[in-house]
Structure 1
Amino acid sequence: MLLDPPTYLGSLQSNIRQRPIPWDGAVRAGTLTEEQLARIRAVDKVKRDVRKQAIEADLNGYRILFVGAEGQKSVLESAHKRQDVVQYILVLLSDLLADIPALAKAIIQTGDPYRHFLPLLAHSSNPENPIPLLTSTVLVGLMAGSRDESPATVDKALPVVFSYLSSLTKNSDAGLQDIGVQEYSSLLYGRAPRRQFWKQRSDTVTPLIEILRAAAGVGNNDASASLWSGMTGTARSGFEGSLGGGVGLQLLYRVLLVMWQLSFEAADIGDDLNDEYDIVLLYTQLLRLSPKEKTTRLLVSTLLNLLVHNQNTLLPTAVLARLPGLLQNLQTRQFADPDLREDMDRLRELLDEYTKTKTTFDEYVGELNSGHLRWSPPHRNAAFWAENARRILDHDNGALVRRLADIMKKPWDSDKAVLAIACNDVGCLVGEVPEKRGQLERLGLKTRIMELMGEADENVRWESLRALGGWLQYSFESK
């Protein structure tokens, strides 16, 4: 998918192309050789077809020009003291790689194709310094143009490039973020780059999630609590003017595109992606707010990839996030994109099939596994606890009550209702299966409930008191 280059980068490259370079003087000064200059002139400021013909007729010569060979310096080595020449060569090479894929493949066949470029990424710590920025564009063009997945690319060069691009996506300047995100997109051309991208997720994925949370109007502190609260609050019908958190539509689209590309690894990373970033909940919220059909398409397609490959774990979360109802509402809109309509139909069918067979117990398990409790129907339903309390305690050797204990360990500063609900559930378990109190005590639940009696939140205090009262009742009766 071709996108227009980011405005800042396009403007920088255009300015450099227009700079006059005293080439003859550079030759006389020994900055570059006559042979190097001849090859540069043959492809500089000429028509695209002339440029293409010249390079394809002399691929080895141009490979040596840019990356050198034994006993022959590359033009970047020769001109390393002339920053104006280095910048010009980087822009020229980027243009050539975009126009002539054969050049990228020829350069990649060099023994160490990246040795002259990777050091330039560390040329300056200033994110606006043109040389690292232009170098990253060359490296992206080189990797994407050749679609190389060799160890030299994936294990050696790609981690360095991803780290540099992450510094752009973490920058507060939207123009630099835009460059980093679009270059990410160009690099996710195959499984090996996508897996490396995920491996470096604290640098690569996390800043993108932060951009998406900002667009959804969710802070990064206690983002999960804020998202779940949004499920029960009044949602906006869509973005008007600028997006939430100051995220522009172009940047939002490019971030969603990168995440969509990453979702093709959903079979391997889908559960972790949701556990670490609440991706299903976040995407449901973004889908509710999606301002354009093109962003809606990426959101729906990504959700489809995730849910198809992780049905047992993510479909319950999607139901809790109220995705089925949202898709039903979206069905009334007349989308022009046939691929979007097809993906929405498939997603609805997947969720409909799941909800047809879903029990209240499944709903409760899905909520526990989501890591966030809300006042859904099972919690206050006496018949549910009478029927399912023992099953919850015994399920998967106590995995569900361990999950409940883990939830209760957190302070939930932004959503104290979670603690109140957890206390309610513990009280119900004790009330229905009092002989299992020891199991709950060994998980620290009784101690935690006693601690929560001192909480400032009135509802938490009340529910913890109720739970402890049931505990004490059965303790006295057993004496």
Structure 2
Amino acid sequence: MSLDPPPYLGSLQNNVRQRPIPWDGAARAGTITEAQLAKIRAVDKVRREQRKQVVEGDLDGYRILFVGEAGTPGVLQSASQRSDVVQYILVLLSDLLDGVPALAKALFKDSNPYQHLLPLLAHSNNPEDPIPLLTSTALAALMANSKDESQSTENALPLVLSYLCGLVKNSNDAGLQDIAVMEYSSLLYGQSSRQLFWKQRSETVAPLIDILRKAAGIGGESSASLWSGNNTTRSSGFEGLSGGVGLQLLYHVLLVLWQLSFEAEDIGDDLNDEYDIVLLYTQLLRLSPKEKTTRLLLSTLNNLLEANPSTLLPTAVLARLPALLQNVGGRHLTDPDLQEDLETLKEMLEEYRKTKTTFDEYAAEVQSGHLRWSPPHRHQTFWTENARKILDFENGKIPRKLADIMKKPWENDKAVLAIACNDVGNLVKEVPEKRYQLEKLGLKTRIMELMQDSDENVRWESLRALGGWLKYSFEN
């Protein structure tokens, strides 16, 4: 997957490269040394192959040029007062790191290459200052090309991610967002960096999910309409839709989350619990206008479901993914990897559906954290056959989750509270001797509170549920 620099970054770098700098005057003024000037001139405005030969023939010299050594400051340190020189050196460093892979590892020899780079991320409070952006690009190139996992990189990476997340959150500038997301992608080269990225998920992952939600047409609203099947999002694709998420930015966001999904065994359940990722990706897949976005969506879902079958396959069925995959299969698809992922997902879901029971379906719905009026809720035979199993399953896991669901106000989807009251009432009716188990979870108290709710259906269902408690209290 070739990732060319976003237009804004490419334009900025070209302007810096072409800007004339009075190097001789800088040397006479002591801004840089004659030795540093010689190194710069040897690679300045020469062909790529010649530049590569020069640097590979003097890796130690170029290491000292950029990061210095004991008693010899690097050029960024020497020229710290000259903004034009600093900008040029940052662009030159990025170019050399991309063009001479051996340089990245050489910079780590006997020194901490981040020492004089990281402070430049906070060079000024002026949003127009190009130095922090050029610095993040150089840092991303250094980390990505060295594939370094040393303690110094582990310490530096969170600072780089925090800077980039500030760009992603700048929803008024899609160009800066795209630069940051592409640099995210270059940084997720190994398990260690992906784990650090996930550790900072409130900064890194959450804004990416917001972009995807806009692309899916749900913005900052509740995902209730998606769960209930009442979504009215336009289906003509992403470009220019719902907050103006461009196709290129969308693709890069999906690429980052695909890379993150290689840690699905460790993070898949949390990713779904916190961001409703299976439901969101199902909706994005429904709208996907291009094979390249469809490919990333299917591959990510494949990674997630394969690593977490017991928890995420039931959620995928609830999200109606199996039916959607049949529709996707009817599109004119040419990518063999996409077709393979599609068939793998269909087989995985079909195998699950052969073995699942109505109880499994109900348990999965509760664990998803979002209830809808699916058939089990209103089916009396279901409660007669499964109420005791629901209360006993994994030491009361399902009632505990019902209690967690009912603690929320659900202002955008009051049906969830009505359904939860219905379920609790059925549990009390079918297994009255275990109603104290529900009381210990605060469910009786919460149902009494909901009798004053603004929604008529919630008031009615809470009254019915409380009636079960009162009935058995009077009988005893």
Same topology, TM > 0.5:
yes
Q: Provide the residue aligned with 1:447 in structure 2.
A: 445
Any residues of structure 2 matched to 1:22-61 within 5 Å, and which?
A: 22-61=22-61
| Of 168-177 and 123-132, the range deviating more from structure 2 | 123-132
User: How far, CA to CA, are the matches of 1:250 and 1:77 in structure 2?
Assistant: 37
Any residues of structure 2 matched to 1:60-209 within 5 Å, and which?
A: 60-154=60-154, 156-172=155-171, 173-209=173-209
For 1:313, give the aligned amino acid.
T
Q: Provide the residue aligned with 1:344 in structure 2.
A: 342
| Of 358-367 and 87-96, the range deviating more from structure 2 | 87-96
Is residue 121–residue 133 contact of structure 2 (8 Å, CA) maintained in 1?
Answer: yes
User: How far, CA to CA, are the matches of 2:254 and 2:324 in structure 1?
Assistant: 19
Is residue 239–residue 245 contact of structure 2 (8 Å, CA) maintained in 1?
Answer: no
Structure 1 residues 127 and 204, CA gap change in structure 2 (3 angstroms): farther
Is residue 238–residue 287 contact of structure 2 (8 Å, CA) maintained in 1?
Answer: no
Any residues of structure 2 matched to 1:375-454 within 5 Å, and which?
A: 375-454=373-452
User: How far, CA to CA, are the matches of 1:402 and 1:384 in structure 2?
Assistant: 20
User: How far, CA to CA, are the matches of 1:141 and 1:101 in structure 2?
Assistant: 10
For 1:242, give the aligned amino acid.
G
User: How far, CA to CA, are the matches of 1:347 and 1:241 in structure 2?
Assistant: 27
Identity of aligned residues (%): 73
User: How far, CA to CA, are the matches of 1:375 and 1:244 in structure 2?
Assistant: 28
Q: Provide the residue aligned with 1:464 in structure 2.
A: 462
TM-score using structure 2 length: 0.97
- Equivalent in 276, 279, 282 of residue 278 of structure 1: 276
Q: Provide the residue aligned with 1:293 in structure 2.
A: 291
User: How far, CA to CA, are the matches of 2:266 and 2:405 in structure 1?
Assistant: 25
* Residue 471 (structure 1) shift: 2.4
Is residue 238–residue 288 contact of structure 1 (8 Å, CA) maintained in 2?
Answer: no
State the SS of the aligned residue for 1:371.
coil
Is residue 52–residue 100 contact of structure 2 (8 Å, CA) maintained in 1?
Answer: yes
User: How far, CA to CA, are the matches of 1:274 and 1:312 in structure 2?
Assistant: 13
| Of 371-380 and 108-117, the range deviating more from structure 2 | 108-117
State the SS of the aligned residue for 1:246.
coil
State the SS of the aligned residue for 2:394.
helix
Cα RMSD of the aligned pairs, angstroms, is 1.3
Is residue 216–residue 238 contact of structure 2 (8 Å, CA) maintained in 1?
Answer: no
User: How far, CA to CA, are the matches of 2:300 and 2:126 in structure 1?
Assistant: 35
| Of 282-291 and 255-264, the range deviating more from structure 2 | 282-291
* Residue 404 (structure 1) shift: 0.8
User: How far, CA to CA, are the matches of 1:128 and 1:266 in structure 2?
Assistant: 38
* Residue 234 (structure 1) shift: 4.3
State the SS of the aligned residue for 2:396.
helix
Give deviations 1:48-107, integer Å, cap 9, x for gaps.
Answer: 111011111111111111111111121111111111111011111111111110111111
Is residue 269–residue 312 contact of structure 2 (8 Å, CA) maintained in 1?
Answer: yes
Is residue 238–residue 288 contact of structure 2 (8 Å, CA) maintained in 1?
Answer: no
User: How far, CA to CA, are the matches of 2:179 and 2:19 in structure 1?
Assistant: 22
Is residue 127–residue 168 contact of structure 1 (8 Å, CA) maintained in 2?
Answer: no
For 2:384, give the aligned amino acid.
A
Give deviations 1:21-49, integer Å, cap 9, x for gaps.
Answer: 11111111111112111111110111011
User: How far, CA to CA, are the matches of 2:18 and 2:111 in structure 1?
Assistant: 34
* Residue 334 (structure 1) shift: 1.7
* Residue 110 (structure 1) shift: 3.5
| Of 359-368 and 327-336, the range deviating more from structure 2 | 327-336
User: How far, CA to CA, are the matches of 1:215 and 1:420 in structure 2?
Assistant: 30
Structure 1 residues 325 and 188, CA gap change in structure 2 (3 angstroms): same
* Residue 127 (structure 1) shift: 3.6
User: How far, CA to CA, are the matches of 1:426 and 1:53 in structure 2?
Assistant: 74
Q: Provide the residue aligned with 1:225 in structure 2.
A: 224
Structure 1 residues 110 and 165, CA gap change in structure 2 (3 angstroms): farther
Is residue 216–residue 233 contact of structure 2 (8 Å, CA) maintained in 1?
Answer: no
Give deviations 1:118-171, integer Å, cap 9, x for gaps.
Answer: 1111102334321011011111111111111111112x1111111111111111
Q: Provide the residue aligned with 1:11 in structure 2.
A: 11
Q: Provide the residue aligned with 1:476 in structure 2.
A: 474
State the SS of the aligned residue for 1:317.
helix
* Residue 428 (structure 1) shift: 1.1
* Residue 226 (structure 1) shift: 4.7
Give deviations 1:226-270, integer Å, cap 9, x for gaps.
Answer: 5424x3434543426413221111110000000000000001111
Is residue 239–residue 246 contact of structure 2 (8 Å, CA) maintained in 1?
Answer: no
* Residue 329 (structure 1) shift: 1.1
State the SS of the aligned residue for 1:245.
coil
For 1:322, give the aligned amino acid.
R
Give deviations 1:352-372, integer Å, cap 9, x for gaps.
Answer: 000110100000000010010
Give deviations 1:376-421, integer Å, cap 9, x for gaps.
Answer: 0100111111100111111112111111111111110000000010
Structure 1 residues 310 and 289, CA gap change in structure 2 (3 angstroms): same
State the SS of the aligned residue for 2:393.
helix
Give deviations 1:161-182, integer Å, cap 9, x for gaps.
Answer: 1111111111121111111100
User: How far, CA to CA, are the matches of 2:12 and 2:232 in structure 1?
Assistant: 44
- Equivalent in 297, 306, 309 of residue 307 of structure 2: 309
Q: Number of residue pairs matched?
A: 475
User: How far, CA to CA, are the matches of 1:128 and 1:184 in structure 2?
Assistant: 21
User: How far, CA to CA, are the matches of 1:274 and 1:457 in structure 2?
Assistant: 29
User: How far, CA to CA, are the matches of 1:428 and 1:311 in structure 2?
Assistant: 29
User: How far, CA to CA, are the matches of 2:225 and 2:190 in structure 1?
Assistant: 34
For 1:170, give the aligned amino acid.
K
Give unmatched runs, 5+ long, in structure 1: none
For 1:314, give the aligned amino acid.
L
Is residue 108–residue 142 contact of structure 1 (8 Å, CA) maintained in 2?
Answer: no
Any residues of structure 2 matched to 1:367-382 within 5 Å, and which?
A: 367-382=365-380
For 1:165, give the aligned amino acid.
L
TM-score using structure 1 length: 0.97
